[in-house]
Amino acid sequence: MATSDEPLRGPRFQLRPKEVLRLDPFIDHTRLIKTEPYASDFVEFVRSIENGLPLGHGFYRREIDTTPDEMLDSHGIKHVHLGGAGSDVLLFSAEYEDVVILLEFNDHKHFKTDPIGTLLNALHGRKMAQAAAIAAGPAAERREREQRIADRRQRFKDLKANGWKKPTPKA
């Protein structure tokens, strides 16, 4: 399991609401994102992630369930297709427990490096570190909140085990 500062490496995005952040500089290397169908797909992607909804099949590569994703496995960088499966307009991102960090829009050129994703990782390595720091905040807060709740429940169990009874209101 990934810690809060490591990107998740599952092939699909988790189905739970997450914050979506763009780190500066966020660049559209395709120069197509403001045109259709890419603009609508981008809005749908952000809405789906923020609401914990599944992405349509067109966002994912065709062989997502049968072949490995070397860039995801090596660098923790996910990509989705805008404009349908097989499109050459890609959104690169990193998914963490509580946040998805958007890296850039580009084409498939990052898959032509050896090893795959080397250039993308070199370009965004610092951003990935920033993303880890951003992602660690909400995850740490959630763990702290969950620990406080668990501590309260344990104190209540301990009190009950020692014969304490909840006071009844006076009429």
The pLDDT of residue 97 is 85
Residue with tokens 């958007």: 102
What is the DSSP secondary structure assignment for residue 104, as one 8-state letter? E
Per-residue pLDDT of the chain (171 residues; tens, 9 = 90+): 444 568 888 889 999 999 898 877 788 989 998 999 999 999 999 999 999 999 988 899 888 877 877 778 777 889 899 998 888 899 989 898 888 989 889 888 777 777 776 777 777 777 777 766 766 666 666 667 677 777 777 877 777 788 877 667 776
Q: Which residues contact 159 (CB under 8 A, 6 or more apart)?
A: none
Handedness of CA 128, 134, 138, 140 (dihedral sign): positive
Question: Which domains, and CATH codes, for the chain?
Answer: 19-147 (3.30.2310.20)
Residue 89: φ, ψ to 5°: -105, 115
Give, for 135, the enclosing helix (H) or strand (E).
helix 118-161
| Stated length of the chain | 171
The pLDDT of residue 67 is 81
The pLDDT of residue 13 is 94
